[in-house]
Amino acid sequence: MKTIRLTAAQAMVRYLAAQKNEDGDIFLAGVWAIFGHGNVAGLGEALYGARDALPTYRGHNEQSMAHAAIAYAKQLGRRRAMAVTSSIGPGATNMVTAAALAHVNRLPVLFIPGDVFATRGPDPVLQQVEDFGDGTVSANDCFRPVSRYFDRISRPEHLLTALPRAMSVMTDPAACGPVTLAFCQDVQAEGYDWPEAFFEPRVWHQRRIGPDQGELEAAARALGAASAPVILAGGGVHYSGATETLLGFAEAHQIPVVETQAGKSALPWDHPLNFGPVGVTGTSSANRICEVADVVLGVGTRFQDFTTGSWDLFKNPERKLISLNVAAYDAMKHGATALLSDAHRGLEALSGALGDFKAKAPDHKLKSDWFAAVDPLTEAPEEGNALPTDQQVIGAAQRFAGPDTVVMCAAGTMPGELHKLWKAPRPGAYHMEYGFSCMGYEIAGAMGIKMAQPDRDVLCMIGDGSYMMMNSELATAVTMGIKFTMIITDNRGFGCINRLQVATGGAEFNNLLDTAHHVNPSQIDFVAHAASMGAEAVKAGSIAELEAALKRSKEAKGPFVVVIDTDPYPVTPDGGHWWQVAVPEVSERETVRQARAEYEEALAKRNER
């Protein structure tokens, strides 16, 4: 057996650079790195030696670097991914939030945090977390519950099994998610004689599992007997490349489609069978279809509470649930008839089993009534002194957007308003991180999307709260020459949660800046801040000025930022659904007691069904 002498870090990098997807691309498109003790000497040196084959990118925060990597994988439908490495202490724990985000959203990313010395000779080292009752624990054990695969590399030869396992998880449609390889810092630098065969290029096939015949027959019987079925399209439709398959299935059987946050853009917004977003942030047309549905076919969805209206949305007492999913964990939720399959293969097989079955045509007036109600909300207002609404900002952004635009967001007011109002013309035009709804994902995510698809125009919608939470990768985008357009809607605080606070009977407290403890009023200059990091930034005093600024953004060479003050209170009054948020059972305040009574009434109605 021929061998080659390399450090463990060099071996890891060489192996990763040889792993390819079915398109012939290196599966890991690059490594995001902030070096510190624990990864600079070993992994840093190895990455330098392989910088042409496996590029290294430098960010300003470990969490946001990982967000960029995750957004990259999401936009490419999990066909490629990235790795992220950090030092052993706070750099590593900074990435735990991002690992949770990837875990919830079933997205591949490889975390390589440095770890303590395997020999334990110099313990405790700088930044080492010591467990008084377990000598094997380090800070990296925080990754265990938020990783689909976790391993600690405490000997060089551990990589011979750990790396193939890591690749298997990241390329498996059912098991897909974050992988953590905690890499002991002395082991990174240790030499070992590696089999040369270990570094031979390998293509990782992303399998498409087909349905079990028994499950297929059960699903076809249930759906074929339906009088008012609905298809609930989730993110798995995109990840399996099944948007055209879904379109053909819906048309062949005349079944209306509704979309989750992750599933939005599966069908063009104006397709007659696309009844729009579903659930708490859904349209009245989609939710009415779901309320009366006797069979709900979930395709690639994990049935999050925003999708199901905390399981109060499907009101038909005869309702049956079918779950077509690659993951058995998701396919069996809430007593569903499971159809364990890739979305593409599953829909094809189910269509064949249904034969010439066609459902009764849905009421298309539901959809036309929805747009008649909400389109005026997004129109440009007459000039005046009133603060613009988020709906009007979305309208301006929609008029600016083209067929290649990707609108993206993650947290705050905009996810709900965009889900309802944004008209996505084709798959991949809507990128929402709403599984974890992580504030701070937006700027790094926009950067990752643009790196994944350089030909797309990326439009980042972000509130002032999220911007303040994590903005440093704006400087990274400037230095790397990554162009995207960002609209900062400044409603002076956490406007979304402020509204939720009031809706549950609470007083306005600690969410808007003016109602939080302060001595001096907030006077943040977002234009100056963005400009200080090198972005081109302007302030829009009205919707008309916003539209003019967006036109200017087309000429920008890098990130272009538009700041606009908005009203923190208005939301789209139509659509939506009840969402279970627990209200205090005991309170001295009448508004809370009233909200509790309404909460108990809603619970009772749901539990009766």
Confidence bin at 194 (pLDDT 50/70/90): very high
* Percentage of residues of the chain with pLDDT beyond 90: 98
The three-state secondary structure class of 449 is helix
Alpha-carbon gap, residue 132 to 115, rounded angstroms: 18
- Identical fold between 3-203 and 213-365: yes
Q: Tell me how long the chain is.
A: 609
Report residue 172's pLDDT band, with 50, 70 and 90 as the boundaries.
Answer: very high
Using the Cα atoms of residue 395, residue 105, residue 138 and residue 120 in order, give the sign of their dihedral. negative
pLDDT of 382 > 90? The answer is: no
Model pLDDT, residue 384: 80
Query: What whole-number distance in Å separates Cα of residue 354 and Cα of residue 107?
Result: 32
Query: Mean pLDDT throughout 83-109?
Result: 97
Task: To the nearest 10°, report the CA torsion of 598, 599, 605, 609.
Answer: 170
Residue 148: name the closest of 327, 398, 301, 299 by CA.
327
* Nearest residue to 419 (alpha-carbon basis) of 308, 281, 302: 281
E-assigned strands of 270-351?
274-277, 295-299, 320-325, 337-340
Secondary structure (DSSP) of 548-574: HHHHHHTT-SS-EEEEEE--SS----S
CA distance 384 to 569: 18
CA 438 vs. chain centroid, Å, equals: 8
- 454-466 burial, b if ≥16 CB within 10 A, otherwise e? eebbbbbbbbbbb
Q: Residue 247: pLDDT above 80?
A: yes
Bond before 124 cis per omega within 30 degrees: yes
Structure confidence by residue, pLDDT tens digits, 580-594: 999 999 999 999 999
- Statement: residue 553 has pLDDT above 80: yes
What is the DSSP secondary structure assignment for residue 232, as one 8-state letter? E
Mean pLDDT for 443-464 is 98
Helix (H) or strand (E) holding 350: helix 343-354
Contact in structure between 407 and 459 (CB atoms under 8 Å) = yes
**Residue burial 555-566, b: 16+ Cβ < 10 Å; e: rest:** eeebbbbbbbbb
Identify whether the C-beta of residue 59 lies closer than 8 Å to the C-beta of residue 32. yes
Question: What is the Cα–Cα distance from 285 to 256, expressed in whole angstroms?
Answer: 10
**Other Cβ atoms closer than 10 A to 133:** 5
- CA torsion through residues 172, 160, 86, 132, sign: positive
Rounded CA separation 441/88 (Å): 23
Q: Where are the chain's structural domains?
A: 3-203, 213-365, 379-565, 579-609
How many beta carbons lie within 10 A of that of residue 288, not counting itself?
A: 18
The two tokens of residue 518 are: 């302060």
Residues facing 203 on adjacent strands: 20
Pick the CATH number of 3-203 from 1.10.1270.20, 2.60.120.650, 3.40.50.300, 3.40.50.970: 3.40.50.970
Packed helices 473-480 and 62-75: angle between N→C axes, nearest 10 degrees: 60
Average pLDDT of the chain, as a whole number: 97
Contact residues for 604 (Cβ-Cβ < 8 A; gap 6+): none
Residue 5 burial (CB count, 10 A): 10
Say if CB 592 and CB 583 are below 8 A apart.
yes
pLDDT at 38: 94
Distance between the two ends of the chain, CA-based, in angstroms?
67
Confidence band, pLDDT 50/70/90 cuts, at residue 340: very high
**Residue 23 CB-half CA count within 13 A:** 9
The contacts of residue 492 (CB under 8 Å, 6+ apart) are 464, 512, 513, 514, 522, 565, 568
Q: What pLDDT, on a 0 to 100 scale, did the predictor assign at position 608? A: 84
Is the domain defined by 379-565 classed in CATH 3.40.50.970?
Answer: yes
How far is residue 415's CA from residue 409's CA, in Å, rounded to a whole number? 6
- CATH number 3.40.50.2300 is the correct assignment for the domain at 213-365: no
For residues 394 and 411, the answer to whether their CB atoms sit within 8 Å is no
Over the stretch 72-86, which tens digit does the pLDDT of each residue have?
Answer: 999 999 999 999 999
Kindly give, in sequence order, each residue whose CB lies less than 8 Å from that of residue 158, ignoring residues fewer than 6 positions away.
151, 152
* Radius of gyration, CA atoms only, the chain: 25
CB 169 within 8 A of CB 202: no
Residue 609 scores a pLDDT above 80: no
- Where helices occur in 133-200 by DSSP H, the ranges are 159-170, 185-188
Q: Are 122 and 37 in contact (CB under 8 A)?
A: no
Query: pTM of the entire structure?
Result: 0.97
Is there a contact between 380 and 396 (Cβ–Cβ < 8 Å)?
yes
Assess whether pLDDT exceeds 90 at residue 237: yes
- Judged by DSSP in three states, 152 sits in strand
Q: Which pLDDT band, with edges at 50, 70 and 90, does 383 fall under?
A: confident
Q: Which amino acid is at 38?
A: G
> Under DSSP, is residue 154 helix (H, G, I), strand (E, B) or coil?
coil
**Percent of the chain topping pLDDT 70:** 100
